[in-house]
Amino acid sequence: MTEARAGIRGIGMTSARTRDRLVQRLVDQGIRSTDVLAQIRNVPRHLFVDEALASRAYEDTALPIGLGQTISQPFVVARMTEALLDGFDGETVLEIGTGCGYQTAVLSPLVRKIYTVERLSELQRRTRERLHRLGVYNVQYRPGDGWEGWPKYGPYDGIIVTAAATELPEKLLQQLAPGGRMIIPVGPPGKQDLTLVTRMADHFEQVSLGAVSFVPLVPGK
């Protein structure tokens, strides 16, 4: 992924020092995966936000991207990616909530194939164009209802959900391969818990990864 291909704006805000400061903050907060940290450093986050907010792109904070959606704070993206890939020996990941594509871009070099579903088709169209400009091609896109997942290409070795569900979506659980891992925020606003779900032979194991704040996983397209 090269900045030259992306037509980068505001090069001063994307200096190595600025990105290194962000990475160090994530290390201080407990992120240990060198692969994930390298992706946080390499992905040009300022291209995933409105130009007016580009100067804040490398702060460890969520930012609005329009249409009632947000780009997650880098720590949360790093935490979810690290948890998903810890011990991951699969190839395919289902992403629920394409959003602006930042999570997709961070994850894409670390797995073979991503299948991503987004309720807002226009948002996904713009994101697909952005990711193509950045050289991200191992992603297949589908506008649709995140609660339904994408059964056609399942079961998936991993599922990552970037919006908060009120409960674990049954259809996503069924699309998780044996031994597969799902990272999903669960709960109402103000009481959301980032949850790791692992599919065992005859049951699902759940582990809490801590409190988070996400936009809701809205049903329908």
213 is catalytic: no
Q: Are strands 176-186 and 156-161 parallel, antiparallel or unpaired?
A: parallel
Long-range CB contacts (within 8 A, 24+) of 173-181: 173/197, 173/199, 173/204, 175/94, 175/149, 175/150, 175/151, 177/90, 179/90, 180/90, 180/155, 180/156, 181/83, 181/84, 181/88, 181/157
Six-digit token string for 24: 């160090």
Integer Cα distance of 124 and 114 in angstroms? 14
Looking up tokens 């807002």, which residue turns up?
120
| Residue closest to 173 by CA, chosen among 219, 221, 205, 217 | 205
Q: Which of 33, 55, 72, 208 is catalytic?
A: 72
Integer Cα distance of 107 and 82 in angstroms? 10
**Would you please indicate which residues are annotated as catalytic (active-site) residues?**
72
